[in-house]
């Protein structure tokens, strides 16, 4: 029953969680790459005393809420692991400064 529906139809947009098509994602990738190339060119041809120009932010892309939630959970888990590793190093290097508890 749903075999003949268009790939840009309402059902496809609902399942994907957004209205972007493959070409939209590819265009965003091209814009990001061009921005990196421009920054690389400017940094390669800058004056020696000029500061290095940072790379720009990536172009916004839609994503499903579940993917966003998983990414935040992964970041929180990695931050907790990094914190515990730091505390372990501090406890080994300087026992008097180790956090109690």
Each residue's pLDDT tens digit in the chain (101 positions)?
667 777 777 777 777 777 788 888 899 999 999 999 999 999 999 999 999 999 999 999 887 777 778 989 999 999 999 999 998 888 888 877 666 54
Contact 39, 55 (CB under 8 A): yes
Q: What domain range is 81 assigned to?
A: 64-101
C-alpha to C-alpha distance for 88 and 92, rounded to whole angstroms:
6
CA 52 → CA 35, 39, 44, distances in Å?
Answer: 15, 9, 9
Q: Are residues 8 and 55 in the same domain?
A: yes
Q: Are residues 40 and 68 in the same domain?
A: no
Q: Are residues 17 and 57 in the same domain?
A: yes
How many structural domains does the chain have?
2
Quick one: pLDDT at residue 73? 93
Q: Are residues 52 and 16 in the same domain?
A: yes
């Amino acid at each position: 029953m749903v075999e003949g529906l268009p790939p840009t139809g309402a059902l496809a947009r609902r399942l994907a969680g957004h209205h972007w098509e493959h070409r939209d994602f590819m265009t965003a990738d091209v814009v990001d790459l061009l921005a990196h190339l421009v920054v690389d060119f400017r940094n390669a041809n800058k004056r020696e005393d000029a500061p290095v120009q940072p790379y720009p932010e990536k172009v916004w892309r839609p994503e499903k809420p579940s993917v966003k939630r998983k990414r935040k959970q992964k970041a929180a888990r990695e931050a907790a692991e990094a914190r515990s590793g730091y505390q372990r190093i501090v406890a080994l290097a300087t026992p008097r400064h180790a956090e109690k508890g």
